[in-house]
């Protein structure tokens, strides 16, 4: 292995170690069962020509009924970066999460087109799938998107059936010959079906009920799903030096906070852990997310301390 390849592998491993860590969800075993998942996904994505992204996770909890901040923010910034690198890019979500995704896209500065599927509109979903197939997308990425459990129903981390607020976008994810990448952080997201059978049930609270059975080609099990999107951006910076300067414009703490604020202020999104309408993600404030994004940038550019 050349010195350049060794350095590339070192940076990718550092990115993955920063992003893919248990932040209190009891996902350490899921992460351990998926070594190199982020790096493998990034290597695959580095060959992409056109990309569809799927996101949006609705939180119908107590007095709160809103999409969560995790997912749309990272998806919008990854999509904006890919579009700026010259790829054809679209984002799909469903009606309950559409306003948050549109707000994230507008704040990201990427101008990426969005597609919306209704929760109970099979014909509409089939039309959306047909459109994506006609585009001949090379890759589709699901980021923090609740997927089907063993009984066919999408469930949140508390085991609650959220079918009434969740269109079956698993069918869109699986519906084409494209490469299928996924990012999740809890076990109930699209793509988690790639993990060994029964692992989520044995290790994650409510795992037997919530475990998503929809699989993928490459899975990233992140501490926070937005981090997984940022990790892919950082890894692409390492793998595609010709994209690095462009991606760097979107991989900043300032962009992360601006997009997070937009989905809260303009679309009423909430933190999926606290259920509070504030610019936090999974219980972590801007200082935590900003520090992580800054460190990813330093690693990607070879500036991190050993």
Residue 255 contacts residue 281 (beta carbons within 8 Å)? no
| Digit-coded pLDDT (tens) for 201-220 | 999 999 999 999 999 999 99
Q: What are phi and psi of 182, to 5 degrees?
A: -145, 150
| Digit-coded pLDDT (tens) for 232-261 | 999 999 999 999 999 999 999 999 999 999
List the domain range (segments joined by +) for residue 284: 3-300
HSE on the CB side for 122, CA within 13 Å? 0
Positive or negative, the Cα torsion across 192, 75, 260, 266?
negative
Q: Looking at the domain assignment, is residue 80 inside a domain?
A: yes
- The mean pLDDT of 109-117, rounded to a whole number, is 93
In this predicted structure, the answer to whether residue 122 has a pLDDT above a threshold of 60 is yes
| Digit-coded pLDDT (tens) for 166-193 | 999 999 999 999 999 999 999 999 999 9
What pLDDT was estimated at residue 304? 63
Q: Looking at the domain assignment, is residue 306 inside a domain?
A: no
User: Which string of b and e fits 265-289 if b means at least 16 CB within 10 Å?
Assistant: eebebbbbbeeeebbbbbebebebb
Q: Looking at the domain assignment, is residue 50 inside a domain?
A: yes
What pLDDT was estimated at residue 110? 83
CATH of residue 73's domain is 3.90.1640.20
What pLDDT was estimated at residue 120? 84
Q: Looking at the domain assignment, is residue 110 inside a domain?
A: yes
Percent of the residues in the chain that have a pLDDT greater than 70, as a whole number = 98
Q: Looking at the domain assignment, is residue 305 inside a domain?
A: no
Q: Let me know how long the chain is.
A: 306
In the three-class reduction of DSSP (H, G, I as helix; E, B as strand; rest coil), residue 226 is classed as helix
Q: Looking at the domain assignment, is residue 133 inside a domain?
A: yes
The CA angle 254-234-179, to the nearest 5 degrees, is 120
Number of domains in the chain: 1
What pLDDT was estimated at residue 61? 77
In this predicted structure, the answer to whether residue 306 has a pLDDT above a threshold of 80 is no
| Digit-coded pLDDT (tens) for 5-36 | 899 999 999 999 999 999 999 999 999 999 99
Q: Looking at the domain assignment, is residue 45 inside a domain?
A: yes
């Amino acid at each position: 292995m050349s010195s350049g390849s060794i350095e590339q592998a070192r940076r990718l491993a550092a990115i993955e170690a920063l992003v893919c860590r248990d932040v209190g969800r009891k996902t350490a075993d899921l992460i351990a069962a998926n070594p190199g998942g982020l790096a493998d996904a990034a290597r695959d994505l580095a060959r992409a020509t056109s990309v569809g992204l799927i996101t949006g996770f609705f939180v119908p909890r107590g007095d709160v009924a809103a999409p969560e901040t995790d997912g749309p923010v990272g998806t919008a910034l990854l999509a904006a970066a890919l579009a700026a690198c010259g790829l054809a890019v679209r984002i799909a979500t469903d009606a309950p999460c559409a306003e948050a995704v549109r707000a994230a896209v507008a704040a990201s500065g990427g101008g990426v087109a969005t597609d919306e599927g209704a929760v109970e509109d099979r014909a509409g979903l089939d039309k959306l799938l047909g459109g994506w197939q006609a585009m001949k997308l090379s890759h589709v990425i699901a980021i923090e998107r609740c997927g089907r459990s063993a009984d066919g129903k999408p469930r949140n981390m508390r085991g609650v059936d959220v079918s009434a607020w969740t269109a079956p976008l698993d069918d869109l994810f699986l519906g084409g010959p494209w490469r299928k990448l996924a990012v999740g952080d809890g076990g109930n997201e699209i793509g988690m079906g790639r993990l060994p059978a029964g692992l989520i049930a044995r290790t994650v609270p409510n795992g037997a009920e919530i475990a998503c059975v929809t699989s993928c080609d490459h899975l990233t099990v992140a501490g926070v799903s937005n981090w997984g999107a940022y990790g892919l951006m950082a890894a692409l910076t390492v793998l595609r030096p010709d994209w690095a300067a462009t991606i760097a414009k979107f991989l900043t703490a300032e962009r992360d906070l601006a997009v997070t604020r937009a989905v809260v202020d303009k679309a009423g999104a909430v933190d999926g852990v606290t259920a509070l309408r504030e610019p936090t993600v999974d219980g972590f404030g801007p200082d935590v997310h900003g520090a992580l994004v800054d460190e990813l940038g330093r690693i990607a550019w070879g500036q991190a301390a050993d």
